[in-house]
Structure 1
Amino acid sequence: MAGYGSDAALKAYWDAAGYTYAADAPFAALRQRGSAYLDGTYGMRFPGQPTGGIAQEREWPRRGATAYGATLASDLVPTRVEQASYEAAYIELKKPGSLSISFDPAQRVKRQKVDVIEREFFEPGNYGNVWAPNAPVSSLIEGLLAPLIGPVWGEPGIMVV
């Protein structure tokens, strides 16, 4: 499996962003994890369909994809997709395993009370990442992908991006 972009482009992006990393970091593995996170979290929100259909390894390139009202070439992997995967790869570098959240729905805390201290958590509902509600959300990744994924409508009148 190959992640979006290249190791050289990943390093150049991280350098430009001022990110720190070890020279021997597993760049290809990080690109793979970042790309898998991106495809799994945002794939259903990307416009069009993968050019190779269900057998295609990654969500991009796509046919029928648009951005800013223009049709994108069917052999294009947008720079924004590559850069978003580099952001996800950096999240994974800094906190290994953070992009692959596993949880048991039966163990979710609605309310917890210990003596007089009480906490209650909001359910993610339609206000978080509606396609992968327990996946981490990065405003940088969301911003990079915004022209490709568009808004998500949650509760009536509430736009979630």
Structure 2
Amino acid sequence: MAYGSDSAFTAWLAINGQTLPAGAPDAAILRQRGSQYVDNTYGSRFWGVPTLGIAQERAWPRTGAKAYGQIIPDDVIPVAIEQASYAAAYQEAIKPGSLTVSATAIGAVKRKKIGPIEKEFFEGSGDVVADGTLKLSAVEGLLAPYLKPETTLASLGLWAVG
């Protein structure tokens, strides 16, 4: 099941001054793709765990989730999660296939020189899928309060033997 509803997606499009392009898949299909993008890209970074564990199709609702210093009830899917899936769904409508990544590190080029023309490419993180995954600022902004930080802090421990 996708986040939200077709009618809420249609209302979100209207409020944001967007319309689906001619020939776009129907709202239910776009919402499913947008929901998969949100879960696949950010699911491991959400606070808490799916309320029904591995039996649950989507990442939300969650147990132990929090945002803005408040615990989110176990049966709630925040509006921002739904809206993030709508933003991703709209991206999929205007550019089909943009939410999915196929990547390989084979043949990656660091520097290429042909005659007098030379190109050097920025190095990625080493994770070709992560480097190739589309990041949408609207989605990132909506989900930020619900995500654990990407970086882990190193800890320093003092041991005393005595």
> Smaller-chain TM-score range?
0.7 to 0.9
Q: Deviations over 1:81-136 (max 9, x none)?
A: 0000000001100110010110122133322222222222222328xx99833210
* 8 Å contact kept, 2:101–2:129: no
Q: Which of residues 131, 142, 145 is equivalent to 2:143?
A: 145
* 8 Å contact kept, 2:2–2:31: yes
Q: Computing the radius of gyration over CA atoms, which structure comes out larger, 1 or 2?
A: 2
What secondary structure, in the 3-state scheme, does the structure 2 residue paired with 1:133 have? helix
- Deviation, 1:24, is 7.0
Q: What is the count of residue pairs matched by the alignment?
A: 153
- Deviation, 1:22, is 4.5
Mapped partners of 1:79, 1:130: distance in 2: 31
Letter in 2 for 1:141: V
- Find the counterpart in structure 1 of residue 120 from structure 2: 120
* 8 Å contact kept, 1:37–1:99: yes
- Find the counterpart in structure 1 of residue 18 from structure 2: 19
Instruction: State the identity as a percent.
Output: 51
Mapped partners of 2:128, 2:103: distance in 1: 16
- Aligned ranges 1:1-161 → 2 under 5 Å: 2-22=1-21, 25=24, 26-125=26-125, 132-153=130-151
Mapped partners of 2:117, 2:101: distance in 1: 28
TM-score by length of 1: 0.85
Letter in 1 for 2:83: Q
Structure 1: unaligned runs, 5 residues or longer: 157-161
What secondary structure, in the 3-state scheme, does the structure 1 residue paired with 2:113 have? strand
Structure 2: unaligned runs, 5 residues or longer: 155-162
RMSD, aligned α-carbons: 2.4
- Deviation, 1:23, is 7.6
Moved more, 39-48 or 98-107: 98-107
Distance 1:12 1:24, change over 3 A: farther
Distance 1:75 1:23, change over 3 A: farther
Mapped partners of 2:128, 2:45: distance in 1: 10
- Deviation, 1:21, is 1.4
- Deviation, 1:5, is 0.4
